[in-house]
Each structure stands twice: as C-alpha cells, then as structure tokens.
Structure 1
Amino acid sequence: MVLPGWLADGAAKLMQRAPRGPRLPSEVAFTELPATTEEITIPTRHGQLRAIRYSPPSGPAGSGVYLNLHGGGFVIRHPEQDDALCRFIAFHAGVTVINLDYIPAPQSRFPGPVEQAYDVAAWAAAPDRPWDGGKLAVGGQSAGGALAAAAARLAFEGGAPDVALQVLMYPALDLTIPAAQKWAPGREKFLVRMGPVFNSAYCPDVRVRAHRLISPASDADTASLAGIAPGLVISAERDILRDEAGRYAQRLRAADALIDHLDLEGVGHAFNMGGAGRDVVLPVYEKIAEAVRVAFA
C-alpha cells in the first residue's frame, strides 16, 4: 500500500510529537555502567546536528569512535532510546560513541538522512578529533541500520572515510517490497501497519526505493561489495525485516565482508528495547563490543 503523501507526512509528524516509550527495564538499561556524556553539535551539509558523545572510562584520547544511528522508521527522533547500547559500547569496547540526533523524514527525506550520517562519519574520522579518527565504526538499529549501511557504502565508493566496521541491527534494507508482503505466520504485525507511513514519508517516489542506498538487499542492487567495511548483521526471528537482513548478510559474505550474522530465535524487532531479557540482550551487546575491539586492534 502506498499512502498519499499528505497522510503519511501528517502521521509521521504526529508520531514525532509522541513521548518516548516506556523506560527500559533496569536489567537491560545497563545503568550500572558509568558513562561520561557531553552534548555536542556537528556540522553537516544539512546544518548543525545535535549528538551525545559517550567517552570511554580511560577518556577519548587514543580511542576509536563508533557512530550510532537510532531507529524509528526514518521518522521518529528519539536518540536517547539507545543510551544503554551506547554506554555499553563505550565502556566495554573502550571507544568514544557518537549518538546522533539526525533530522528525520518528512523534514529530511532520502537522501537527506543518509547524507547526514555520512557527513558525521567523515567529521568523526578527521585527524583533529580528541579520539583516533583513523578507527571508525558505524552502526544502527532498524532505520538506523539502513543509514549505517548507506554511510558505509558511500565511504566504500568514495574511498573515505575508512570505515573499519558496520553493525546492522534488524536493519531495513529493502523498501522495494511493501511491508505487508514481508509478513509471514509467526511474525509481528506492527511494522506491517506502520511501514506504509515510514516508507512514504522517507521516500515518497516508489521508483526511487530501489536505490542502492535505500534497498541494498533488493534484486536491483547487483554491484560488487568487495572491499566494503566488514559487517556484523543481527536479525530477529519474529521481525518482518528478517529476510532482507539475511539477504544482505549473504551479500557481505560473498564479498568476504561478513564478520557474523546473528539470527536470534523467539524475539522480534527492537528486541533489546521491547521486552527481551538480559539473557538475550547481553550476548548481543557483548558481540558488538568484541567486534569493535577486534576491528580497531
């Protein structure tokens, strides 16, 4: 289903006004991990963007940097939902984490959010930062995973910045297939309902949705990915985005650029914020932190 633009935009703006969802249970909030944070602004072609910088326990000097891109269907603006993941990576990987508050759709449609992500990645990699810009990773959840993959693709195609790792958690990587067609028995339906809003607000022209920076898991993108940043892909059994995450993991594997594909049983989209216990979330976060440490070694 393709929603009229005015309807999708109106619904997206209403969602932006909604308060943040329920606070994470303490067992997956990781508030026991100390976090030194600072609000910063970052220049991009789309203006100054706000971000929260998480410094590792030893301080930023000499550490690498991890750019985090939050989810929310390309339309919701709640970067604070990723506080637990950001503090975990900063503490356990010993790196600086930049949690970006990018401008979402409909205020910034494709390719706007992709350009914002890429510009911030290039900024973070500059040699005059407090951290080691030569050690850069990008990662994101859901729509943020799509933006992370696109930023890594642009860096690969343009030869800079040098991205050592891309972390894609339940990413949206194929908008050529309507959300309703991604559903199967046993999978959740909330993205089936919300998908038309998200997709229409982010990229109203359905013909553009086959673009390689939107749908790298679609049949339309056949370019070689040999040489792209190695990827850690995380998908969930009950998520309607599971198949496209798997297809992209296969593309990375074919390019010898897949670190691992974790396909989690019994959980759904945004499992780390939507009810999964510490027994599920902790091993995933540990895997991410390990991948960052190895990539920066």
Structure 2
Amino acid sequence: MALPVWLADGIARLAQRGPGPKLGEAVSFADIPATAEAVTIPTRHGEVSATVYVPPAGAAEAPVFVNFHGGGFVFRHPEQDDGLCRYLAHHAGVVVVNVDYDVAPGLRSPGQTEQAYDAVVWAAAPERPWDGARLGVGGSSAGGAHAAGVARLALEHGGPALAVQLLHYPPLDLTVPSKQKWSKGKERLLVGMGPIFDRTYRPVEAERADRLVSPAGPSDTASLSGIAPAVVVTCERDILREEGIRYAQRLRAADALLEHIDLPGAGHGYNLLGKDADLVQGSYARLAGHLRSALR
C-alpha cells in the first residue's frame, strides 16, 4: 500500500522543524575567507533567497556557478553547502550563487526545478556584476537532480548556455522505490526516508517517470545531444549509485560526460556526515578543477 500523501506531507513538515546537518570542522573549510552577500531572485514561483560567494579576485568579469543544496526535496538548509561554496569560489575563481529554493510539500515537482531554472536565467543576465556568459550549474543530492533538470530545460529552451553541470550523488530515477535500490554493502540512510521524499515531492507515482525527475529511468529516451558537459559523482555505498552510473553512461553516449567520479567506501552525504577530510578535499579539488577548466 502506498504511503498516503497527507501522511508523507505531515512527516515531512515535522522533520523540517529539526536542525540541519552540522559540518565538522575538518570539512567546513572555515579557514577559507569568504565574501558573501545575500540576494533575492525572482522566479515564476515567487522570490527566493540566495547567498553569493565572491572569489578572491572579485566578481567583476568572473564566471558564475549556481549551486543547489540537497535535502530530499524536502529539507531547506542551503547553509550545509557553505564549505563547498567557499571552496569552489576560492579554488575555481568563480562567483558561486547558492540558491535557497522552495521545498515540498510547499512546492512540489516540477515547480522546484522550474524555480531552479529561473534562478539560473537570472544569474546569466548581462546586468549582473559577473560574467553570466560563462555559466555552470551543480548541486548535491536533490540539488544535483535540480542541476540535471536545469541542464535539460536549458537544452530544450535553447539557453541559457551552460558550460558545465556538476552532479554530486544525485537521485535520478524515482521510478524505483528506495527499498528496491538497497543491496548488501549499501547503507540504509535513504531507505526509510525515501518513500516520504518521493511521495511529498511527486505524489503521483506514474508521473515520476518525467524527464525532470527520472532522467536515468527507462522511460526517458530522448536525445541528450547538445546538453551541457557533466561531471557525475557517485558513492560506492550510496543506494543512488547505480542510477548515477546509468545517467553517466547516457551522457557519455551523448558525448557530454567530462568525468564519472566514483568514490570508494563513501556513502551518501559523505561531505556532510563523514569525517574523512582527505576524501572531501580530494573530491572538491576535482570538482573545482573541472569548473575552472570549463569556465576559463
């Protein structure tokens, strides 16, 4: 029996009252100085807040990277990506716009991805104090799914032009229940909350085959030719690993895969929940390198 929408929504709202993940000192990169500014971005689904991180050389003529945080499409904690945003701004020399998008059940799919796309259109506008013609998108977990969706919408709408998409352990196939994604050796972190996330985000199961929700699912067979080049990060112990691999293979077939990074021994949210600073540092360095190269 499927979880009733009213119950999933209620559990989600209760869970939203709790605090966000607290980054460990080793992975917060608090030692990296950050010039950050709060901005408001208009979208078709209302205004959203964002934090703009400015690189050491300043925003003028710098490329821009729009980041979307994770949280199962339900949790609203953009501050959890503060360390990542600091790192990318400093080491890739880019302006980072960390978007506080609306979450379910207040805003469900496809509204969240449409809001994310509108934020990227805003960031690309020539009146911004950075170079919106050199533009990338990315995100972790649910934010990575939004980044993939934004890249798809940009392909379909003819812009804005994206030089790169960084997909950091994203959920890319909601047609498969989280319980069925688990196997021996995988962590159970998302198995329990997965049904709540999925039901709250896209209540009608048949609609989860939508291209903006399940681009790694069997129903989405449209050509990805011309989509923004991508870096896909998967984690060995994450139940989302296999769908990430499938999407990386699909991107490779479209000549749009820069690199598939598979992190051995890592689990979902390794950069937020773990204490392996070397793993996080190494992963972020590879992401920053791709970003710097794509947006130079």
TM-score (norm 1): 0.98
Deviation at 1:57, TM superposition (A): 0.7
User: Which residue number corresponds to residue 121 of structure 2?
Assistant: 122
Contact (CA 8 Å) 2:169, 2:234: kept in 1 or not?
Answer: yes
User: Which residue number corresponds to residue 188 of structure 2?
Assistant: 189
The amino acid across from 2:96 in the alignment is V
User: Which residue number corresponds to residue 260 of structure 1?
Assistant: 259
Separation in 2 of the partners of 1:12 and 1:73? 10
Residues 1:272 and 2:271 are matched in the alignment: yes
Contact (CA 8 Å) 1:152, 1:166: kept in 2 or not?
Answer: yes
Equivalent position SS for 1:189: coil
For 1:72-83, list aligned pairs within 5 A.
72-83=71-82
Separation in 1 of the partners of 2:10 and 2:92? 40
Contact (CA 8 Å) 2:34, 2:86: kept in 1 or not?
Answer: yes
Contact (CA 8 Å) 2:26, 2:275: kept in 1 or not?
Answer: no
Separation in 2 of the partners of 1:281 and 1:4? 38
Aligned residues: 296
User: Which residue number corresponds to residue 56 of structure 1?
Assistant: 55
Equivalent position SS for 1:138: strand
For 1:42-121, list aligned pairs within 5 A.
42-121=41-120
Separation in 1 of the partners of 2:291 and 2:236? 25
For 1:137-156, list aligned pairs within 5 A.
137-156=136-155
Unaligned runs of 5+ in 1: none
User: Which residue number corresponds to residue 224 of structure 1?
Assistant: 223
User: Which residue number corresponds to residue 4 of structure 1?
Assistant: 4
User: Which residue number corresponds to residue 20 of structure 1?
Assistant: 20
Unaligned runs of 5+ in 2: none
Separation in 1 of the partners of 2:283 and 2:258? 14
Equivalent position SS for 1:272: helix
Deviation at 1:2, TM superposition (A): 2.8
Equivalent position SS for 1:263: strand
Give CA-to-partner distance per residue, 1:35-69, whole Å, 9 cap, x none. Answer: 00011100000111001110111110000111110
- Could you list the structure 1 runs, at least 4 aligned residues long, displaced by more than 4 angstroms after superposition: none
Deviation at 1:182, TM superposition (A): 0.2
Deviation at 1:267, TM superposition (A): 1.1
Equivalent position SS for 2:271: coil
Separation in 2 of the partners of 1:15 and 1:117? 23
Contact (CA 8 Å) 1:113, 1:147: kept in 2 or not?
Answer: yes
Deviation at 1:210, TM superposition (A): 0.2
The amino acid across from 1:210 in the alignment is A
For 1:230-241, list aligned pairs within 5 A.
230-241=229-240
Contact (CA 8 Å) 2:68, 2:98: kept in 1 or not?
Answer: yes
Equivalent position SS for 2:191: helix
The amino acid across from 2:178 in the alignment is A
Deviation at 1:231, TM superposition (A): 0.3
Separation in 1 of the partners of 2:275 and 2:228? 29
Separation in 2 of the partners of 1:13 and 1:112? 18
The amino acid across from 1:144 in the alignment is G
Separation in 2 of the partners of 1:145 and 1:218? 16
The amino acid across from 1:78 in the alignment is H
User: Which residue number corresponds to residue 295 of structure 1?
Assistant: 294
Separation in 1 of the partners of 2:158 and 2:71? 29
Separation in 2 of the partners of 1:111 and 1:255? 24
Separation in 2 of the partners of 1:284 and 1:259? 15
Contact (CA 8 Å) 1:73, 1:142: kept in 2 or not?
Answer: yes
Separation in 1 of the partners of 2:275 and 2:256? 29
Deviation at 1:190, TM superposition (A): 2.0
Contact (CA 8 Å) 1:176, 1:215: kept in 2 or not?
Answer: yes
User: Which residue number corresponds to residue 244 of structure 1?
Assistant: 243
Contact (CA 8 Å) 1:267, 1:276: kept in 2 or not?
Answer: no
Separation in 1 of the partners of 2:6 and 2:129? 44
Separation in 2 of the partners of 1:190 and 1:90? 30
Work out the percentage of aligned pairs sharing the same amino acid.
Answer: 58
Give CA-to-partner distance per residue, 1:125-184, whole Å, 9 cap, x none. Answer: 011100000011110111111000000100011111001100001100000000000000
Deviation at 1:276, TM superposition (A): 4.0
Contact (CA 8 Å) 1:183, 1:240: kept in 2 or not?
Answer: yes
Deviation at 1:258, TM superposition (A): 0.3
